[in-house]
Chains A and B, each alone.
Chain A
């Protein structure tokens, strides 16, 4: 029986500018069990990225949570101060985004950047940090660890960069990884590799994953559970099989119909049963 790792209830969020404030999330519920990969799927503008950012407290300027709760393990994340959240981010919850080449800091090499992350959470000396960096670069499937460690972000390919980003997000051993559209913008073959990588890391590191995507195919192939979002609300959630094979809500049905799941979905899901 898996335990509940991340519990989001009734999350409401607004963005305030000087003149107006717009409500973005209207009561989002999300539950993630330990060891699972949970997909948060929806179209652009549905609020899925905002939800993720609200969980780790990385809201854009003017963003405010107006109601709801976010519980991670036994910790109330919304009650934490910014300083306390800095300790959570990277050490307990890792987060990666789209576009790995701009996510990496262009002026330091991979080893230096990862070392900075380690320094902010763990008490290791230089040799231990270097070892840890190399270990994690190996974990994400990089063969030539030495070259990549000394390389600058602009010298890496898209796929290599995303692996480095994943390594950097996981280097301090968080138990939850939030991936916001991690494969959008990458070539199709690379997309598969990255997703397979995340899946295998789940087993190796006992990692839970919240993956945000607009691609139902990704959800069908890799996720255990899914939440469907639109216009700031979760309209349906549950095990991937039941939601995608027997959608209860109109919106979910439309989403499935508009995607190119078709027969492939049926075959895969049937094979999983």
Chain B
């Protein structure tokens, strides 16, 4: 596709995103208000008087009509103001900015590894369909996707930390006493790489390898199955048959089949990514990762209303952006797709 066609497509999709974002913001607002109790009670405590509760409500702004609150929420959000956390007393935006990079780094690196493993073993199995190796791959991936991620993390901790001492104790991105990279994004591995700080890179990789392996193992399960069935379908296609009839070498046919099998994999990775923003809380808890997911779960426990709202909004926006990227990747991979 020409550069101009790409630019127009992206522009069209970005414009289309606006009403969707609006819908997400609205849904966030109403969901949190519907599901939540009145935070004023929690903040005031057990011995609150009517008056103090009313004061708190005035502070928070929850005593105003719903419509006004809604409007203010929308205008604030557009400007990037997500309110102040009732727990940390800092702007929610800052809290999230502190913690999101750690979560994103973990998710991205885990998915990257899972995709490589998934595509590789799925394709491997598809080319050897019906053989014992194919069966082994199938059973392996089936098992992997049945495992609970938090449990696997604990088991791996036991084996590699407690028994073998190959992994550090689960205390987050950087161990105390180890060299920390200079703060650029807040994601240790990324920061260490950007600043070319080798000792910090080693330290941060040492901390991340166990949670990363946990998540990569689990997600390679469904990715392998998907890659395998998509490759099998591609291999049986008329185009591959004709390619063979023209004498194309195996490497070319392998490339053809792999590219044809990408679309469902790309879609699935997109879905996984957006799900993982929240679901990574389990692994984050096991390894005390200090990410955004842990933050919001804590916020829920203490009824930190603005923090929950802010997180839900940010992840909704994230998901929409990811789905846009997935759609654009689709167009890049498959010329038949018209958006």
Contact = CB atoms under 8 A, between A and B. Distances in A.
B247 A91 contact: yes
Interface stretch (A1-9, A101-109, A202-210, A214-222): A101-109
A121 interface: yes
A95 B129 CA distance: 26
Interface string B206-242: 0000000000000000000000000000000111011
Interface in A132-158: 152, 154
Interface residues of A, number: 31
B242 A165 contact: yes
A104 B239 contact: yes
Interface in A166-194: 168-169, 172
Contacts of A168: 242, 246
Chain A interface main SS type? mixed
Interface in A111-132: 116-117, 120-121
A120 B250 CA distance: 10
Contacts of B335: 106-107, 109, 152, 154
B238 A90 contact: no
A99 B242 CA distance: 11
Contacts of B237: 102
Interface in A37-69: 56, 58, 61
B245 interface: yes
Interface in A59-111: 61, 86-91, 94-97, 99, 102-107, 109
B301 interface: no
A105 B238 CA distance: 9
A154 B129 CA distance: 30
Interface residues of B, number: 22
Contact of B246 (A90, A99, A106, A154): A90
B133 interface: no
A88 to B, nearest CB: 7
Contacts of B241: 58, 97, 103
Contacts of A61: 129-130
B239 A58 contact: no
Nearest to B235: A61
A158 B260 CA distance: 22
Nearest to B336: A154
Nearest to A155: B335
B63 interface: no
B256 A105 contact: yes
Contacts of B260: 106-107
A165 B239 CA distance: 11
A96 B241 CA distance: 10
Nearest to A154: B336
A105 B336 CA distance: 11
Contacts of A154: 335-336
B329 interface: no
B245 A56 contact: yes
Nearest to A113: B243
B245 A89 contact: yes
A90 B221 CA distance: 39
Contact of A120 (B249, B256, B259): B249
A168 B242 CA distance: 10
B108 interface: no
B117 interface: no
B195 interface: no
A165 to B, nearest CB: 7
Interface string B13-32: 00000000000000000000
Given A107-B333, A107-B334, A120-B252, A102 B238 contact: yes
B244 interface: yes
A103 B239 contact: yes
B245 A94 contact: yes
A94 B248 CA distance: 12
A94 B247 CA distance: 9
Given A107-B259, A107-B333, A154-B335, A86 B249 contact: yes
B135 to A, nearest CB: 13
Given A97-B242, A107-B335, A154-B336, A116 B247 contact: no
Interface of A: 56, 58, 61, 86-91, 94-97, 99, 102-107, 109, 116-117, 120-121, 152, 154, 165, 168-169, 172
The 9 closest A-B pairs by CB, nearest first: A90-B247, A89-B247, A102-B238, A95-B245, A103-B242, A90-B246, A105-B239, A152-B335, A117-B246
9 contacts: A56-B245, A61-B129, A86-B249, A89-B245, A96-B242, A103-B238, A104-B242, A106-B260, A172-B247
Interface of B: 129-130, 237-239, 241-249, 252, 256, 259-260, 333-336
